[in-house]
Structure 1
């Protein structure tokens, strides 16, 4: 029982870290390409910056939510161990 819950916690954290990394990479790419000389209009630059910042925020939010879920699972497990 305990080993299964620990494996679930580990799987949730690994998945959250992988998704966070993907969102950060795509956010950096979107953010950096918004400054390219090909995007001459202000609207496309602002759109690229906005999407990049949204991806950063999404990555951070995803990681924090998964961290809080894991903390909650650990709190639920801890009384049953004692």
Structure 2
């Protein structure tokens, strides 16, 4: 077998087929068979892209820490009471 023949065979995708050995199935029976085989051998769905993480976004540097927020609120409440 030459290298050209091997590369030609590899380039062509495999085409699935069903070969009826015995009997004469109706079109409805063939459709049911193809549907059942398609559901069983459908394969896994293509993986989706993961959602980009929001960890470490530049906007996070503009926010105050929760401890600062609580301290500011406590200072404001103390000032208002005086």
The TM-score, its normalising length taken from structure 2, stands at 0.30
Select the structure with the greater relative contact order (CA < 8 A; seq sep ≥ 6): 1
